[in-house]
Amino acid sequence: ANAVYGILGRLSYRFSRIDLAATITGHGRAILTRAVNIVSSVNPLAKILYGHTDSLLVLFPEDTTATTG
């Protein structure tokens, strides 16, 4: 998707389509938001550190219920 967005979003490109580039970024934003919501619902203590395009960096709290022997 990044390569297609880059080509379509470049005004100097012969087949530039800003509307399609905006659609691609809109869908990417929606998918990233959904991923954040899923992580938050599965583990409310998780911290979202970073999210961009095709990645989501999440810090999960340590499991303090585990016992060591």
> Residue 2 pLDDT > 80, yes or no?
no
Q: How far apart are CA 65 and CA 43, in angstroms?
A: 15
What is the pLDDT confidence band of residue 64, given thresholds at 50, 70 and 90? low
Q: Is the dihedral of CA 28, 33, 39, 42 positive or negative?
A: negative
Global pTM?
Answer: 0.73
The pLDDT score that the predictor gives to residue 54 is 80
The pLDDT score that the predictor gives to residue 4 is 81
The pLDDT score that the predictor gives to residue 45 is 94
**Digit-coded pLDDT (tens) for 14-40:** 889 999 999 988 999 999 999 999 999
The answer to whether residues 35 and 56 touch, using CB atoms and an 8 Å cutoff, is yes
